[in-house]
A and B are shown apart, each in its own frame.
Chain A
Amino acid sequence: MSANNSLSRRNFVRASLLSVVGAAGAAATGEAAGSGRAPALQAGDGHEGMPGPVGEVDHTRNGFNPTDILTDFNWGDRISVLENGQTLREYDVFAGDKTIEVMPGIEFAAWTYNGRVPGPTFRAEEGDRVRIHFINGSSHPHTMHFHGIHTYEMDGVPGAGPGLIEPGESFTYEFDAEPFGLHLYHCHAFPLARHVAKGLYGAFIIDPPGGRPPVDREYIMVMNGIDVDYDDVNDFYAVNTIPFHFALHPIQFHVGETVRVYLVNILEFDLINSFHLHANFFQYYPTGTSLTPIEYTDTIIQGQAQRGILEFKYKYPGLYMFHAHVTEFAELGWTGHFEVLP
């Protein structure tokens, strides 16, 4: 419970979660694009009957902001070149127990990698050597299991190699980054669903040699759910953990800019998740393992741990929704806005 979170009648969510696109163009003024400001188009005093929370979470106290996570790619805490000419990327990861305000006024006892949910987005190029220095500072045993191609010892499951990393223990996971694509990592301690649902996961991007074709914007979006009362049913849904965050704080870019979204579904308890883009279509690269898109669409579905890369650009300015077209997820938090500036 945060003391600064007063639930007064003036403190309603004012974001227009289902705003009329037609009006958006006129309303989307060219104001300074500062993160953390409310959308240019508002639905008024919150009495239009739109879903949304009361108040806003304290990102500073949480120690992370979903907007920052969008563009926070970790290419390595230390980068060097091995004798064989291979690039070595070293990452430091610390698992911990942390209380996160997931919804305004609602605390969730999370488990985190580096104090945030999702954990850091590791990024490397295909063929790089990756070393993950993992320290378990949590009160429970955890592991790091990467999706990728690696040896049995480095699989990060109980029984393989070091197995469970006990509290206070550490281990260095090491492997070559392959194949290129959009992958993920998560804790593989049992009970698995709980260890994942409590927040131990993140995205792992391997670029093809020389990188993907350059674009104007790159965003990482990890679709997740929060089961605040531990009944194995998600109570809220989100991208980058905080429900409704991108409805309150639209993601801003300009007309004609090419946007690449790295989309990962790490939802537990629900079989599928989805992504729907308003007033536009996108190229879809499932798992990102090919540079050729398989579909030009506006809605895709991902099962648990599925992921893919989306590329699109907007033709018209406006405030456009993106959300799960599993619509009950949308109304429980998995909804946001792209604010396309002229």
Chain B
Amino acid sequence: MTEQTGMPPEKPRASALRMALLLILPVIVLAGVIVLFVQTGGGLTLRPPAPVEDLTVLGTRLERGHIAIDVRNSGPETLTVSQIVINDAVWPFEIEPSPMIPRLGRATIHLDYGWSQGEAYAIRIFTSNAIAFDAVIPVAFVTPKPRAATFLNFTLIGLYVGVIPIFLGLFWFPALRQLGRRWFTFLMAVTAGLLVFLGIDTFTEALEKAASAPSPFQGVGIVGIGAVATFLLLDAIGQRQTQTGRGDEDRRMQVALLIAVGIGLHNLGEGLAIGAAYGVGEIALGAFLVVGFIIQNITEGLGIIAPVLRDRPSVGRLALMGAIGGGPAILGAWIGGFIPSLTLAVLFFAIGTGAIFEVVYEIAKLIQRDTAKEPMPIVIFSGVLVGMLMLWVTGLLIK
């Protein structure tokens, strides 16, 4: 064994000790270097010519006659909040826990300010170094509190944009299973197209959110980690299931389930975005918009059933998949509406991205299996394109 790996033939115990020491040695040296550097500054005389400060506005909360602003210090050093200007008026404020906010620390600024319903407010936060940071309230209204009524409202939002459309899509099952083999392949390609579109959309959303999340949390890094980890995890689960040696029917069922998971994660992100936007008044969920979401997401239900059209899944199974695909929209709306966090949103969108692209990969493998004997490139091309176009066209209704 030792000879095979090229290790010197020593006694195992002595070798383990030596190994441990060798492993620790660089750490000890590193510790020494850090101590030396912290004590002497390493001879570096570079000082920033101007103070470097960064303050991220996490959100604003409005009550009658009162505005609360949550901020996080995302700069390298402690900063001090000195004055607040709201709509061109210097305004008295309170700040808790302290006007001095340590790196990555949070604080809440309170203003007793008689704001008016529906108007816009621009708030400037001045630090002691005369650096200004802006918080914007595009439309002022009382921030919804987690009361039963708002809870119900967010549940309804999730139900409308996630659960109902997907179940509506499932109702195509009886009709579609009458179709021929080529049509099955076509529908699988459509599903792949839908998912590619959703994947790109989710990925862009993740990057967009990452750009405005507090910089020390490295939003783009979170996108990478979340997406890659989810992709590889689902892939590992998939391969493990395949290794247990089940038939093609099980395999297709499993892909359908994966599609449901992928779409579910996408809808979690969608619910999150809607909930958060609703919470800050950036969206008016009118009937037209809800109808738009229903029309767009009905195609997602179609995607879930595509792989199992030739099989006989039980109604319970189908319902379960519908719930997995649509239900997370409700959860997302709750989270987005009540505890909006950009960093959390980035993570959810990243997970959604990884999941969706993994499912596309699974579908591609299925299609490849099905078309091994009878290649039909035009069917696949047109299917993928139709899938993408379907979402683009229905997207016109809600963008």
Contacts and interface: CB of A to CB of B under 8 A. Distances in A.
Interface of A: 1, 7, 9, 12-13, 46-47, 49-54, 103-108, 228-229, 235-236, 243-244, 328, 331-333
Contacts of B94: 7, 9
Interface string B127-139: 1111110000000
B89 to A, nearest CB: 3
Contacts of A103: 82-83, 90, 126
Nearest to A105: B82
Give the 3 A-B CB pairs with smallest separation, nearest first.
A105-B82, A331-B89, A1-B128
B95 interface: yes
29 contacts: A1-B80, A7-B82, A7-B95, A9-B94, A47-B112, A49-B65, A49-B114, A51-B91, A52-B90, A54-B82, A54-B83, A54-B84, A103-B82, A103-B126, A104-B82, A105-B82, A105-B83, A105-B128, A106-B127, A107-B129, A107-B130, A108-B130, A228-B132, A229-B131, A235-B85, A236-B90, A328-B89, A332-B85, A332-B89
Given A7-B82, A106-B130, 14 more contacts: A7-B99, A46-B92, A51-B90, A51-B91, A53-B83, A105-B128, A106-B126, A235-B85, A235-B130, A243-B90, A244-B90, A328-B89, A331-B89, A332-B88
Nearest to B83: A103
B93 interface: yes
Contacts of A49: 65, 112-114
> From DSSP, what is the main secondary structure of chain A's interface residues?
loop
A107 B114 CA distance: 29
A329 to B, nearest CB: 9
Contacts of A51: 89-92
A333 B92 CA distance: 12
Interface string B147-161: 000000000000000
Interface in B293-346: none
B130 A229 contact: yes
B128 A13 contact: no
Interface string B10-24: 000000000000000
Nearest to A9: B94
Contacts of B132: 228-229, 235
Contacts of B114: 49
A52 B89 CA distance: 8
A104 B83 contact: yes
A54 B126 contact: no
Contacts of A331: 88-90
Interface string B220-260: 00000000000000000000000000000000000000000
A51 to B, nearest CB: 4
A283 B80 CA distance: 46
Nearest to B131: A229
B128 A228 contact: no
Given A1-B82, A243-B90, A333-B90, A106 B113 contact: no
A272 to B, nearest CB: 16
Contacts of A106: 82-83, 126-128, 130
Interface in B79-118: 80-85, 88-95, 99, 112-114
A9 B84 CA distance: 14
Contacts of A53: 83, 90, 92
A54 B80 CA distance: 13
B92 A54 contact: yes
Nearest to A228: B130
Contacts of B89: 51, 328, 331-332
A261 B132 CA distance: 34
A332 B132 CA distance: 15
Contacts of B83: 53-54, 103-106
Nearest to B115: A49
A107 B130 CA distance: 6
A51 B85 CA distance: 9
Contacts of A244: 90
A47 B113 CA distance: 9
A52 B91 CA distance: 5
Contacts of A107: 128-130
